[in-house]
Amino acid sequence: MIEKYKVIIFGLAALGIGLIVYFLVSSGVFLPRNNVGNQEAYLPKATGDINETVDAFIKEASDEKADLGSGEEEKALIISDSQEVSDFNQSADENDF
Amino acid sequence: MIVSAVLAPILILAENNDNNQGGKAFCQKISESSAKWVERVLERETKIEAKREEINGKIEERWTKQDQRLLEKREKWDENRTDHFAKLEEKAKTDAQKQALVVFKEAASGAITARRAAINAALEAFRQGVQQAKLSRQLEIDAAKLTFKNAVTAAFETAKTNCASGTSLATVRQNLKDALIAAKEKYRSDYQEIETLQAAIDQQIESRRTAIEKAIQDFKLAMEKARNDFKAATGQ
């Protein structure tokens, strides 16, 4: 009898976890890691309308700009040796004497 | 009284002997510390060198990927533009509409080419500036390291020489300590100065941002003009 209850409780718990995971994935809370920041640019469909055509070309420019980054990434890389460089003088210790 | 007279020279001799022993030990310690310091410096230089290689590799990789991504996206946008032109051509029935479309296509294509060229130039200028800033920083760091190493080496050599020539241990010890503290302080101040070189990178970032912003703005204006010209020519 106890075994039967255990199976039911375990089954309900598994179902509950499954529903929670399904909800989180379907609502976009969890996204596969390689999708983050790597989504294809949305290309506006050609309609033959001059306004939509111009807007599409302008969107291309905005997308390109967004894709270039700010340059701060390079700065962060260049100064990423700061810890090693600033610690260099710690090689000598006057308290040894 | 007699005991004191006998013991005093013995105690003085014993003290001198202790001083000599202590002196030798201290001089030996200076040599050992000097050798250990050389090892530690080499270790830290190796770490800095490894970090530099890592930085160079990451920057190179970042720019290669950026170029690749830019190229691929531009190719896709080129295809997309061809589709837009084709749709416009389908709808252009009259000679006036067809002529307006030719003008529009030339204007749009020219504006896109100009924008891309301006962005390419901004990226290239930025990269050159960043490389220059990185190199300047590394040269300044190397100079600071060399100054520090020379100062510490000189401090140890002076201590060894003074030790061998019989200068009092207290003086040798104090001079060595002072010299090491001064070398470290000089390095710290040089390093703080080096970090101000980050302003050069900030300047590059700002120039890049301004150039790209201008390229986009010029492009938008050109496209708005092309749109208005097209509409005016086709009576829209």
What is the DSSP secondary structure assignment for residue A29, as one 8-state letter? S
Where residue B187 falls among pLDDT bands split at 50, 70, 90? very high
Residue found under tokens 């301004």: B210
CB contact under 8 A, A97 and B205: no
Predicted local distance difference test score (pLDDT) of residue A42: 77
Q: What is the mean pLDDT of chain B?
A: 91
Distance from CA of A28 to the nearest CA of B (A): 26
The DSSP line for B136-185 is HHHHHHHHHHHHHHHHHHHHHHHHHHHHHTT--HHHHHHHHHHHHHHHHH
Classify residue B57 as exposed, middle or buried by CB count within 10 Å of its CB (0-12, 13-18, 19+).
exposed
In percent, how much of chain B has pLDDT > 70? 91
Nearest to B44 by CA among A51, A26, A86: A86
The helix/strand/coil state of A36 is coil
Point out the least confidently predicted range of A21-30, B58-67, B207-216, B222-231.
Answer: A21-30
Round to whole Å and give the CA distance between B236 and B234. Answer: 6
Predicted local distance difference test score (pLDDT) of residue A95: 85
pLDDT digit string (tens) for B107-133?
999 999 999 999 999 999 999 999 999
Residue A17 vs residue B13, higher pLDDT:
A17
Spell out the residues 6+ positions from residue B230 whose beta carbon is closer than 8 angstroms to its own.
A50, B100, B101, B103, B104, B236
Predicted confidence (pLDDT) at residue B85 exceeds the cutoff of 90:
yes
The helix/strand/coil state of A92 is coil
Predicted confidence (pLDDT) at residue B81 exceeds the cutoff of 50:
yes
Tokens of B109: 């294509």
Predicted local distance difference test score (pLDDT) of residue B211: 97
Q: Which residues of B touch A81 (CB under 8 A)?
A: 48, 51-52, 55
What are the 10-residue block averages of pLDDT along chain A, 97 residues in total? 65 65 45 38 88 96 92 95 95 86
Round to whole Å and give the CA distance between A71 and B208. Answer: 8
Predicted local distance difference test score (pLDDT) of residue A32: 35
Predicted local distance difference test score (pLDDT) of residue B24: 79
Round to whole Å and give the CA distance between B217 and A93. Answer: 57
In this structure, the number of other CB atoms found within 10 A of the CB of residue B219 comes to 25
Residue A17 vs residue B179, higher pLDDT:
B179
CB contact under 8 A, B91 and A48: yes
CB contact under 8 A, B86 and A46: yes
Mutual angle of helices B95-164 and B169-195, in 10-degree steps: 170
In this structure, the number of other CB atoms found within 10 A of the CB of residue B108 comes to 22
How many inter-chain contacts (A to B, CB under 8 Å) are there?
167
Mutation to test the B interface, candidates A74, A84, A90, most B Cβ within 10 Å:
A74
Residue A15 vs residue B75, higher pLDDT:
B75
CB contact under 8 A, B148 and A88: yes
Could you say which residues from 13 to 42 on chain A have a Cβ atom under 8 Å away from some Cβ of chain B? 41
- The secondary structure of B8-36, three-state, reads HHHHHHHHHHHHHHHHHHHHHHHHHHHHH
Predicted local distance difference test score (pLDDT) of residue A86: 95
CB contact under 8 A, B184 and A92: yes
Residue type for B224, please? E
Distance from CA of B1 to the nearest CA of A (A): 41
pLDDT digit string (tens) for A12-29?
666 666 666 555 444 433
Residue found under tokens 């760091």: B141
pLDDT digit string (tens) for B211-223?
999 999 999 999 9
**Cβ of residue A85 closer than 8 Å to a chain B Cβ:** yes
CB contact under 8 A, B119 and A64: yes
